[in-house]
Amino acid sequence: MSDLLDRLRRRGWRMTAQRRVVAEVLDGEHVHLTADEVLARATARLPEISRATVYNTLGELVLLGEVIEVATNDRAKRYDPNAHRPHQHLVCSGCGAIRDVHPDGDPLADLPPAERYGFIISEVETTYWGLCPDCART
Ligand SMILES: [Zn+2]
Ligand SMILES: [Zn+2]
């Protein structure tokens, strides 16, 4: 579970009805929604919610470090509530389904010092592309 709502409550995030709906839409496992998808789902729950509120709330959650932005190729940026456990992504090139995955070992250790060119590396992002079982079947 990403327990996004619990995390926000614990840190005293100001929880209006509109902001709560955005957080609820994002809560869960393997959630990687575009801003438009968040807007559509939030509107289904709370018809009066505005696009500006949804976008501002997403931006705020990213600034707080409770949601991370995931860029997959040329597709729209996605919002991921699994911000506290380092993970990589498995992406279906057919339908765009995304899963959070946790490779064995330390991805940073896999890069030999000679290949680091003096960089101080803060983060490793790996995307595994392929076909999900549904797309592979057709
Ligand atoms: Zn697929
Ligand atoms: Zn993820």
91 strand-pairing partners: 98, 129
Range list for CATH 1.10.10.10 in the chain: 4-80
Vertex 76 angle, CA 70 and 82, to 5°: 25
pLDDT score for 12? 95
Residue type at 32 in one-letter notation: H
Residue 59 has pLDDT above 70, yes or no: yes
% the chain with pLDDT above 90: 72
Residue 117 has pLDDT above 70, yes or no: yes
**Residues 92 and 130: beta-carbon distance below 8 Å:** yes
How far is residue 60 from each of residues 9, 77, 95, 104, measured CA to CA in Å?
15, 15, 29, 32
CB atoms within 10 A of CB 58: 20
Instruction: Decide yes or no: CATH 3.40.50.620 for domain 88-137.
Output: no
Task: Calculate how far, in angstroms, residue 138's C-alpha sits from the geometric centre of ligand 2.
Answer: 26
The model's confidence at residue 105, banded by pLDDT at 50, 70 and 90, is confident
- Proximal ligand: closest to the CA of 83: 2
**Which range, of 19-23, 45-49, 74-78, averages the lowest pLDDT?**
74-78
Task: Calculate how far, in angstroms, residue 132's C-alpha sits from the geometric centre of ligand 1.
Answer: 4
**Correct CATH for 4-80 of 3.30.70.20, 3.40.1390.20, 1.10.10.10, 3.30.413.10:** 1.10.10.10
86, two tokens: 């380092």
Task: Calculate how far, in angstroms, residue 101's C-alpha sits from the geometric centre of ligand 2.
Answer: 8
pLDDT score for 1? 52
Query: For the residues 17-33, what does the mean pLDDT come to?
Result: 94
Residue linked to tokens 């592979």 = 136
Residue 74 has pLDDT above 70, yes or no: no
Query: For the residues 118-125, what does the mean pLDDT come to?
Result: 89
Residue linked to tokens 């699994």 = 82
* φ/ψ of residue 129, rounded to 5: -100, 150
